[in-house]
Amino acid sequence: MAISVSEKRAAFRRLHQSGCFVIPNPWDVGSARALQHLGFKALASTSAGYAWSTGRADNKVTCDDVIDHLARLCAAVDLPVNADFEGGFADAPDGVAANVTRAVATGVAGLSIEDSTGDKAKPLYDRALAVERIKAARAAIDASGADVMLVGRCESFLVGQPDLDLVLDRLTAYSAAGADCLYAPGIRAPEQISAVVKAVAPKPVNLLIGWPGGLTVAEAASLGVRRISVGGALARVAWGSFMRAARDILDTGSFEQFAQGHPGAELNRLFGG
């Protein structure tokens, strides 16, 4: 029996209430179904992974593109899906609100709003505007009547401003503005993570782990992290295998990299063939 959108959203909120869980990031319907098959309890979209799958760079897709992508992901799996909704595809709060309303209608269980501008000269929105954008997203979700979790993201570490005090100030402001979960991609040190967890408690914190040699799930949980996402890392792993095999063919004439491929028969069984 298919699980309803409201059931997915309720399950997603329950996952945040205790413990620590991983929301891996599929980039298309096939990878989403594979992750469900493996036993994950929730998924999150990846702006980068999706963009690469369409032959574009991260942050170079449109709101219409992402809305269609989210609808496909949500319809393809029986798991809750958290949307990487970038900056809401608008600068002004009313534009963010309008686009969040569209995202909620796709069936997502959560969505994130970033405070990065895409402008290298001024990479973060002014604090006051960033807070108003979170408030607008919150109001749009509330007006929809849907139990969708709002994630407030501070992109400071990703845009070359690794200022923990700035992150703590913004995340606490986003929490007060209505964010249900807080996220500062790029923080890695245990003391940074613990500081974020403490600052926004009791609200849950999302931690990005998209590199080797980082914390394990158990170690992140011990710091108080409630959920872990991997961003575009799984997509990069897939592209890495593809590029190595293709380059080997081109450079050496060898097809030996195909030995690393997943068995086609298993993939057919997974996808119901």
Structural domains in the chain plus CATH codes? 5-231 (3.20.20.60), 234-273 (no CATH)
Strands (E) across the chain are located at: 21-23, 43-44, 81-84, 110-113, 149-153, 181-183, 205-208, 227-229
pLDDT tens-place string over residues 6-63: 999 999 999 999 999 999 999 999 999 999 999 999 999 999 999 999 999 999 999 9
The residue written with tokens 């380059």 in the block is 247
DSSP annotation of 124: B
Per-residue pLDDT at 273 exceeds 90:
no
The DSSP annotation for 177-213 comes to TT-SEEE-TT--SHHHHHHHHHHHTTS-EEEE--STT
Per-residue pLDDT at 89 exceeds 70:
yes
In sequence order, what are the residues at sequence separation of 6 or more whose Cβ sits closer than 8 angstroms to the Cβ of residue 213? Answer: none
pLDDT tens-place string over residues 146-188: 999 999 999 999 999 999 999 999 999 999 999 999 999 999 9
2 falls in which pLDDT band (50, 70, 90)?
confident
Section 126-138 average pLDDT: 98
Section 70-91 average pLDDT: 98
136 falls in which pLDDT band (50, 70, 90)?
very high
Per-residue pLDDT at 1 exceeds 80:
no
| 186 and 163 Cβ atoms separated by less than 8 Å | no
The residue written with tokens 């057919």 in the block is 268
**Which value, in Å, is the radius of gyration of the alpha carbons in the chain?**
19
Of 16, 143, 3, 24, the residue nearest 74 (C-alpha): 3
pLDDT tens-place string over residues 196-252: 999 999 999 999 999 999 899 999 999 999 999 999 999 999 999 999 999 999 999
Query: What was the pLDDT predicted at 77?
Result: 98
| 135 and 177 Cβ atoms separated by less than 8 Å | yes
